[in-house]
Amino acid sequence: MNTVFSGIQPSGLVHLGNLLGAINNWVKLSNENSKNYFCIVDLHSLTGLPNKNDLKKSINDTLKVLVASGINTKTSVIYTQSNLQEHAYLSWILSNFCQVGELQRMTQFKEKASSFGTHSGLLTYPILMASDILIHKANEVPVGDDQTQHLELTRNIAERFNTNYGEIFPIPEKTSGKSGARLMSLRHPENKMSKSSDDINGTIYFNDEKDNILKKFKSSVTDSENIVRYDPKNKPGISNLIEIYAAVNDKEISETEKEFENSQYGEFKIAVAETVIDYLDPIKKNFDDLTSDNLEDIVVSNLKSAKDSAQKTIIEVEEALGIS
């Protein structure tokens, strides 16, 4: 049995990239593996200096999407990071096992530092992420490809801690689904699909209306070849649509190319839109049906499990360091 950890920032509406790159795999894992922690990492989203009310709504909506997506709550603990102060405590300890230069080399730091200005939270964010994973001694981390570098840093931090203070942490592995690990914007396929994108037509949000989804796919940027062929370098737009179709239907890329070998782009775009509409429909329905009482029950019992696990790790870490 693996211990699985993964997180999502409540930095806006959950989008198709989050669902296919991460949450879909969480649902699968929750049915196969009996120890999983899925966390709404609200402390991370503070790096974007969000508005208080927007953040509150986003935390609640993200929690609802995780439950609505079908994660098995019998095997999985879903909770909010700021409710468990052990994350921030361990982060301080782990900061002593990470070099400033390593943090400065993180691609996401370089990208975000230029748009938000440079405060130290943006720089030290990956240490908090390492703490999120290691607090539960997770050895499997299902995330999208954009998180590969951060996970590598987590592994280095864990190894350095273990070398100095004994084998406390497992060295976690990143896992992702066979497709969908990096969905790109429908309007700017050179950029990843993102909550904070300037062009909302490039992102499919979980609660987009059917007509809007169809419109977004119909107006997605492709190329002039009109052949449904996967070639992310030369045909990023159509390759992204192939990736989406394959991920939603749990198919290989090659199977998808074969299925649409005689289709024009217009026809293919509609097929992708329809498959996404069908995929999002039950999530939206479940989301709308969730009451605050349902959620409260999940929040209270899950937080207790998360706290038990985190406190166990903290005791071991403190003993290893000689600070208990």
Interface contacts to ligand AQP, rule CB under 6 A: 6-9, 11, 15, 17-18, 21-22, 143-144, 146-147, 181-183, 192-196
Does the annotation mark 192 as catalytic? yes
Residue 22 DSSP class: I
Q: Is 195 a catalytic residue?
A: yes
Helix (H) or strand (E) run with residue 173 in it: strand 173-175
Stated length of the chain: 324
**Measured distance CA(129)–CA(102) in Å, rounded:** 14
Is there a catalytic annotation at residue 112?
yes
- The Cα 47–Cα 324 span in angstroms is 31
Q: State the nearest-atom distance from the C-beta of 260 to ligand AQP, in Å.
A: 21
Find the catalytic residue in 64, 137, 174, 192.
192
> Residue 144 or residue 237: which is nearer to ligand AQP going by CB?
144
**Which lies closer to ligand AQP via its Cβ, residue 86 or residue 243?**
243
Answer whether 305's CB lies under 8 Å from 268's CB. no
**C-alpha to C-alpha distance for 90 and 88, rounded to whole angstroms:** 6
Residue 93 and residue 111: Cα distance in Å, rounded? 26
Q: How far is the CB of 146 from ligand AQP (least distance, A)?
A: 5
Q: Which residue is nearest to ligand AQP (CB)?
A: 21
CA 185 vs. chain centroid, Å, equals 16
Q: Tokens in use for 22? A: 């991460």
Pairwise CA distance, residues 279 & 320, whole Å: 47
Nearer to ligand AQP, 98 or 183 (CB): 183
Q: How far is the CB of 3 from ligand AQP (least distance, A)?
A: 17
Catalytic position from the list 35, 64, 112, 216: 112
Backbone angles phi, psi at 140, to 5 degrees: -135, 130
Cα R_g (the chain), whole angstroms: 20
Q: Shortest gap between Cβ of 239 and ligand AQP (angstroms)?
A: 13
Closer to ligand AQP at the Cβ: 197 or 313?
197
Which C-beta is closer to ligand AQP: that of 11 or that of 317? 11
Of 195, 216, 235, 269, which is the active-site residue?
195
Cβ 11 to ligand AQP shortest distance, Å: 4
The residues annotated with a catalytic role in the active site are 112, 192, 195
